[in-house]
Chains A and B, each alone.
Chain A
Amino acid sequence: MIIFLQIFSLLFAHDIHLTKAQVEVNAAEQSVQVSMHIFLDDLEKVIQQETGFTETMHLGTEKEVPEGDSLLAVYLANHFLVAANEQPLSFSFVGKENSEDLLALWCYFEFPLSGIPTKNLTLTNNVLMELYGDQQNIITLQGPNKKRDYLLFQVDKATASFSY
């Protein structure tokens, strides 16, 4: 019965083309910190498509290929961009963990502000958009003054600003 259920569930790919991320401007640590939820099957597919890496990466499992983190970091750095005062901030990968249901990864990364005085960030988030035309990436932002904002990124609008 269990095997039957497993096969049954393998037959269906999820059809939810959505990532979500929490972005916090941490004034004390002078950095923009991101935790982003991305479905694993899409992530594997898009990284392979972009890098030409042909092996299955098994991201987030014991069988993960040694290049796993670096491939993931390069992909995210290319598709999640933050600029302060029109100056692009450098991307720094922090780590990742499995979501509770094991279907997705929570990816952690940050963008050091390096003393740039700013109250305005420009974000570009086109993660997975080359895969799906209906991809939606949502973000909640929190500024150092606890001001919150919600942004939706889509193929025709993958860049947005946040003032705090």
Chain B
Amino acid sequence: MFNLYLQLGFEHLLDLAAYDHLLFVIALTVVYQLSEWKKLLVLVTAFTIGHSITLALAVLDIIQFPKEVIEWLIPVTILLTAIYNLITNNNISKLNVKYIAALFFGLIHGMGFSSFLKSALMPGEEHLLVWQLLAFNLGIEVGQLLIVGVVLLANFIVLNIFKLKKRNWIILVNTVVMILCIWIMSGLLE
């Protein structure tokens, strides 16, 4: 049981056919380099706290929300993150704003995760809910860390081996993220 929900969480985050959460983690990570891992850790933790809270509250039926609105808000969080990356130089003075935003965006993504997990729960297994929740959340974390690792590695290769200017790389990645994000939004209109 634990393994199944762990795997569902992991694959849900890495699902290439529904890549909204994936895009968000990429946008969150792309402005960092390996040497800044501490700041990134705090940022990713803020996002994780956010989505863990709403995932748990929604799955335990303590909060309810219109799924349709969340489906729209998720790409909005990605767009805002990408725009922020494009218009700022990731300067330290604004970091606190960034942490709060990551926490808040986490709350939104958590509600998105909960729609999926809820549809994966079997009737009559309510007594296992806490374990299913924990496993699913853990799966999401592992997936998230994997993406962070891959993006940091890509940053390292592009900036240090191919010697691309950091600013150009950030513009390139965030532009692609924004295009994919608009693509997701147009899909929601179908």
Q: How far, in angstroms, from A11 to B185 measured CA to CA in the complex? A: 11
A3 at the interface (CB under 8 A from B): no
A18 partner, pick from B7, B120, B190, beta carbons under 8 A: B120
* Contact in complex: A20, B68 (CB < 8 Å): no
* Contact in complex: A152, B8 (CB < 8 Å): yes
* Contact in complex: A18, B4 (CB < 8 Å): no
* Contact in complex: A140, B125 (CB < 8 Å): yes
B68: chain A residues within 8 A (beta carbon): 8-9, 11-12
**A86-109 near B? 1/0 per residue, CB < 8 Å:** 000000000000000000000000
- Report the minimum CB–CB distance from B30 to chain A (whole Å): 24
A144 at the interface (CB under 8 A from B): no
Binds B, one of A70-78, A113-121, A130-138: A130-138
B-side interface residues, number (CB < 8 Å)? 25
A29 at the interface (CB under 8 A from B): no
B125: chain A residues within 8 A (beta carbon): 140
Tell me whether chain A's interface is mostly helix, strand or loop, or mixed.
Answer: mixed
* Contact in complex: A18, B16 (CB < 8 Å): no
B97 at the interface (CB under 8 A from A): no
Name A104's closest neighbour in chain B (CB-CB): B119
Q: How far, in angstroms, from A148 to B122 measured CA to CA in the complex? A: 13
* Contact in complex: A16, B115 (CB < 8 Å): yes
Q: Most chain-B CB neighbours within 10 Å: which of A12, A14, A22, A132? A: A12
Q: Residues of B with Cβ closer than 8 Å to A?
A: 1, 3-4, 7-8, 11, 15-18, 67-68, 71, 115-116, 119-125, 188-190
Ranked nearest first, the 10 interchain pairs of A and B with the lowest CB-CB distance are A134-B17, A150-B4, A12-B68, A150-B1, A16-B119, A134-B15, A15-B18, A9-B68, A140-B122, A16-B116
Q: Residues of A with Cβ closer than 8 Å to B?
A: 8-9, 11-18, 20, 22, 132-134, 136, 138, 140, 148, 150-152
Can you show 19 pairs from A to B with CB atoms below 8 A apart?
A8-B68, A11-B68, A12-B68, A15-B18, A16-B115, A16-B119, A18-B116, A18-B119, A20-B119, A20-B121, A20-B122, A22-B124, A133-B17, A134-B17, A134-B18, A138-B8, A138-B120, A140-B122, A152-B8
Given contacts A152-B7, A152-B8, 10 further A-B contacts (CB under 8 A): A11-B188, A11-B189, A15-B71, A17-B17, A22-B122, A22-B124, A134-B16, A140-B125, A150-B1, A150-B3
